[in-house]
Amino acid sequence: MQEGPVNTPAHLHAVPIGGSPIADMEIAARCRRGDSHAWRTLYDRFAPVVYRFLSAFGVPLEDREDACQEVFVAVYRSLGHFRGEARLSTWIYRIAARHASRTARRRRVRSLLSTLLVREPPPPPAPDPSERSERLQILDDLVSKLSPKKRLVLVLFEIEGVPIEEVAKIAGCPENTAWSRLHYARAELTAMARRRIR
């Protein structure tokens, strides 16, 4: 029987776990200095996150890739303003959220214009028949019906797993407000899901 404190293999502590403020500051500083390796690291670390966030936030499939690239261009251009007061992930989520809202606004205007000009809307992408994809499509549809503020809090907390204090920072509201938005978003989503499934 082995006794005593639980040891962790040395290499498992040799590097900071992704997302720690020190690593964030260092990676941002290196990017600012034009270190292409650091930029690549940042991209590898956050591209899947940004892509997933944009998907959950309702950016349509055909715009998602471009939107993701544009977020990274915006991140690069704004790295000079990153002061390390928040986590890098929080800061990037904030940029992505702003960008997603802007994209949605532009899309609404485009769709309105195309309606007014009686132009044929682009055909929707071919549906994926798998059960998982169907579930995701329904979820995307339901989430898109939430107000942007509630949607942001729900996506960050429930899908991205961001702690509520970070969610509040990203949404730019007090923590209690974030909880409240989450509560109402959950209630609305459950009600919509019940109606949909019935």
Map the footprint of another protein across residues 120-149, applying CB under 8 A.
132, 135-136, 138-139
Which residues, 179 to 198, sit near another protein by CB under 8 A?
179, 182-183, 186, 189-190, 193-194, 196-197
Binding map of another protein across residues 148-167, x = CB under 8 A, - = no contact:
---------xxxxx--x---
Instruction: Provide the minimum distance between the beta carbon of 73 and another protein in the complex, in angstroms, as a whole number.
Output: 5
Contact 68, 50 (CB under 8 A): yes
What does the alpha-carbon distance between residue 23 and residue 42 come to, in Å, rounded to a whole number?
A: 10
What does the alpha-carbon distance between residue 59 and residue 61 come to, in Å, rounded to a whole number?
A: 7
Examine residue 174 and tell whether it contacts another protein (CB under 8 A). Answer: no
Burial of 185 (0-12, 13-18, 19+ CB in 10 A): buried
Examine residue 86 and tell whether it contacts another protein (CB under 8 A). Answer: no
What does the alpha-carbon distance between residue 106 and residue 111 come to, in Å, rounded to a whole number?
A: 9
What does the alpha-carbon distance between residue 145 and residue 127 come to, in Å, rounded to a whole number?
A: 20
Instruction: Provide the minimum distance between the beta carbon of 80 and another protein in the complex, in angstroms, as a whole number.
Output: 4
Which residues, 14 to 53, sit near another protein by CB under 8 A?
14-19, 23, 27, 31-34, 36, 39-45, 47-49, 51-52
Instruction: Provide the minimum distance between the beta carbon of 7 and another protein in the complex, in angstroms, as a whole number.
Output: 5
